[in-house]
Amino acid sequence: MTITLHDGDLPDGLDLAASARDNAVAIDTETMGLNPHRDRLCLVQLSAGDGAVHLVQFPKGRYDAPNLKRLLTDPGVTKLFHFGRFDVAVMHAYLGVSCRPVYCTKIASKLVRTFTDRHGLKDLSKDLLGVELSKQQQSSDWGAAELTPEQMKYAASDVLHLHDLKAKLDVMLAREGRTHLAQACFDFLPARGELDLGGWETPDILAH
């Protein structure tokens, strides 16, 4: 694994779309908390599935990032998330983009791993890949001017295995006849993120 930190945007000339495994780029975000209206976006981490991870760190209030935005809105590249509902919403709030098309390993897991209620990334990685992920840095200060090596390694681990998880989950979705249902959920995610930002998170607009 290689980790490269970028300031404010992906660099010119870095074409993750061209090297994306299965036309998918794995993406995750780190924020100051779980309320997009209060807690700012600090970091976006990306991997084309080749073992290299790129971290884009945002100084407070600076969210221009034209190269990153171009990738996030590229219709030819699937944006691969785990719990994409939050990531799609927070990037819409701070980067002003609607990510699509998207794939969410958490949704896929819930559709096919109905024998368990454990659908976190740590559980998925262990159960499907035999990979143990550390969550020690999950609640650290992502707004710090300088990230620690431990923070960068943690952030990278959140996207490093998503391509392999997608491959496993795709097989299970096809086996159980739920690929079409998963795709419908993925297609709805950008709208679900906007609903959350608009105040329809609790109560859920789809609730009774």
CATH number at residue 27: 3.30.420.10
* The pLDDT of residue 18 is above 70: yes
Please state the domain count of the chain: 1
**Exposure string for 45-78, b = 16+ CB within 10 A, e = fewer:** bbbbbeebbbbbbbeeeebebebbbebbebeebb
Domain presence at residue 203: no
CB 95 within 8 Å of CB 27: no
Which pLDDT score, from 0 to 100, does residue 35 have?
95
Q: What is the mean pLDDT of residues 17-43?
A: 96
- Phi then psi for residue 152, to 5 deg, are -65, -40
- Report CA torsion sign: 55, 82, 137, 196: positive
3-state SS class at 102: strand
Task: Summarize pLDDT for 164-200 with one digit per residue, the tens.
Answer: 999 999 999 999 999 999 999 999 999 999 999 999 9
Domain presence at residue 169: yes
Which pLDDT score, from 0 to 100, does residue 139 have?
74
* The pLDDT of residue 148 is above 70: yes
Q: What is the C-alpha to C-alpha distance for residues 20 and 201, in angstroms, rounded to an integer?
A: 33
Task: Summarize pLDDT for 92-125 with one digit per residue, the tens.
Answer: 999 999 999 999 999 999 999 999 999 999 999 9
In this structure, the strands spanning 52-57 and 41-47 are antiparallel
Which pLDDT score, from 0 to 100, does residue 137 have?
65
Q: What's the predicted TM-score (pTM) here?
A: 0.95
Domain presence at residue 204: no
Domain presence at residue 207: no
Instruction: 170-178: list long-range contacts, CB under 8 Å, 24+ apart.
Output: 170/108, 172/108, 172/112, 172/113, 173/108, 173/111, 173/112, 175/112, 176/111, 176/112, 178/111, 178/112
Task: Quote the domain boundaries for residue 96.
Answer: 2-197
Domain presence at residue 149: yes
Domain presence at residue 130: yes
| pLDDT band at residue 3 under the 50/70/90 scheme | very high
Domain presence at residue 154: yes
Domain presence at residue 60: yes
Q: Give the closest residue to 142 by CA, choosing from 126, 125, 134, 154.
A: 154
| pLDDT band at residue 207 under the 50/70/90 scheme | confident
* The pLDDT of residue 136 is above 70: no
| pLDDT band at residue 204 under the 50/70/90 scheme | confident
